[in-house]
C-alpha cells in the first residue's frame, strides 16, 4: 500500500476522530461525579462546586446493584465456562477430525447448525430446563454455556486440526502414547494459536452476555455485571442516573484495562476467528 502524501495531516485528522470516538465514554466518566439531578439536566457541563458529589454515585451504585458480588460471579461464570469450553471442545474437535466416520461427520453438522440458531429460539425452553435440572447457579451455567457455545468452538478447532499433519501424532503412538496422552502432550500444544482465538471470542461473549444468565440464574442470589447494570433500570420508577453513571464506569474500567494489556492478542484472535468463519 502506498504511503500517504501528508502523513502529519493524517495523524492530526485521526487524532481528532479518535478523541471524538471516545467521547461517549468520557461523557459518562464526567457525569459520574455529578449529582443525579444534574446528569439529566445538563449532561455536557463539567462538574462544578454545586454539582460535584465526589464518589457518592459510585457508593450508591455499588450498594444498589450488589456490584462487587456481581463482578465476582461474572468472573466465576466467564472463567469457568471458557475453560470448560476450551477443554471439552478441543478434545471433541480432534476426535471428530481424526475418527472421521459417519457419527463424527453428523456430529459436526449438528454443531454447525448450532452456530446459526439465535438464542430466542431456545430461550424459553432452556430457562425451564436449567431450572428443572437445578442448573440455575453460576456453576450450572458452565454446563449450559458449554452446550450453547460449543458450535463456534468446535467449528474453529476442527478447521485448525485439519491442517495439522498426522505424522507427529503417529510418531507419538509408536513411542507408546495412547490417545489421551497423545492429545494432551502432543496435539494440544500444537493447537495453542486456535486455543487463544477461541478463548478470546468466547470470553468476549461470556463476559457481556445478558439474556442467558438473566433468564437462567436465580437473580435474587446471583447477578452478573450486565444484569446489575440493567437492574438499575428496574420496574416503572425513575432511574437514578447518578448511580447508573457510577456503575457504567465500574463496568467499563476493568474491560478497558484488560484490553490495554492484551489488545494485540485480542485483535489477532478476532481476525483469525473471522477468517475461519
Q: Which is nearer to another protein, 56 or 268 (CB)?
A: 268
Distance CA 208, CA 48 (A): 34
In the complex, the smallest distance separating the C-beta of residue 127 from another protein, rounded to whole angstroms, is: 9
What minimum distance in Å lies between the beta carbon of 125 and another protein? 4
Nearest distance from residue 64's CB to another protein, in Å? 14
Alpha carbon 116 to its chain's center: 18
CB of 12 to another protein, least distance (A): 9
Nearer to another protein, 221 or 262 (CB): 262
Beta pairing partners, 52:
34
CB of 115 to another protein, least distance (A): 8
CB-CB contact of 211 with 205 (8 Å): no
Shortest Å, Cβ 271 to another protein:
4
Distance CA 241, CA 218 (A): 26
- Cell numbers that stand for 170 in this block: 503417529
Q: Which three cell numbers stand for residue 129?
A: 430446563
Query: Residue 185 or 274: which CB sits closer to another protein?
Result: 274
Whole-angstrom CA distances from 259 to 130, 184, 192, 254 are 33, 30, 20, 8
What is the spatial distance between Cα 277 and Cα 271, in angstroms, rounded to a whole number? 10
Tell me the closest approach of the beta carbon of residue 72 to another protein, in angstroms: 17
How far from 260 is each of 76, 104, 181, 207, 256, CA to CA, in Å?
22, 40, 37, 17, 6
Identify the DSSP state of 4: P
Asked if 149 contacts 204 with a C-beta cutoff of 8 angstroms, the reply is no
Question: Is 150 or 156 the residue whose CB approaches another protein more closely?
Answer: 150
Question: Which of 85, 81, 89, 88 has its CA nearest to residue 137?
Answer: 81
Amino acid at each position: 500500500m502506498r504511503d500517504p502524501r501528508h502523513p502529519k495531516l493524517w495523524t492530526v485528522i485521526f487524532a481528532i476522530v479518535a478523541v471524538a470516538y471516545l467521547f461517549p465514554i468520557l461523557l459518562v466518566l464526567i457525569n459520574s461525579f455529578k449529582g443525579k439531578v444534574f446528569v439529566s439536566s445538563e449532561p455536557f457541563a463539567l462538574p462544578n462546586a454545586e454539582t460535584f458529589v465526589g464518589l457518592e454515585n459510585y457508593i450508591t451504585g455499588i450498594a444498589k446493584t450488589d456490584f462487587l458480588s456481581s463482578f465476582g460471579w461474572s468472573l466465576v461464570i466467564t472463567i469457568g465456562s471458557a475453560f470448560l469450553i476450551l477443554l471439552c471442545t478441543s478434545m471433541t474437535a480432534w476426535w471428530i477430525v481424526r475418527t472421521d466416520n459417519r457419527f463424527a461427520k453428523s456430529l459436526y453438522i449438528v454443531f454447525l447448525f448450532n452456530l446459526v440458531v439465535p438464542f430466542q429460539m431456545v430461550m424459553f425452553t432452556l430457562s425451564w430446563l436449567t431450572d428443572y435440572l437445578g442448573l440455575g447457579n453460576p456453576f450450572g451455567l458452565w454446563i449450559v454455556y458449554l452446550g450453547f457455545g460449543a458450535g463456534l468452538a468446535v467449528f474453529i478447532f476442527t478447521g485448525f486440526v485439519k491442517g495439522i499433519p498426522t505424522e507427529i501424532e503417529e510418531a507419538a503412538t509408536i513411542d507408546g502414547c495412547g490417545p489421551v496422552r497423545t492429545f494432551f502432550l502432543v496435539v494440544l500444544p500444537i493447537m495453542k494459536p486456535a486455543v487463544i482465538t477461541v478463548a478470546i471470542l468466547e470470553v468476549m461473549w461470556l463476559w457481556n452476555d445478558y439474556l442467558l444468565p438473566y433468564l437462567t440464574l436465580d437473580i435474587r442470589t446471583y447477578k452478573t455485571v450486565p444484569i446489575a447494570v440493567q437492574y438499575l433500570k428496574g420496574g416503572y420508577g425513575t432511574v437514578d442516573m447518578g448511580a447508573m453513571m457510577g456503575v457504567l464506569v465500574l463496568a467499563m474500567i476493568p474491560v478497558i484495562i484488560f484490553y490495554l494489556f492484551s489488545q494485540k492478542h485480542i485483535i489477532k484472535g478476532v481476525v483469525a476467528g473471522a477468517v475461519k468463519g
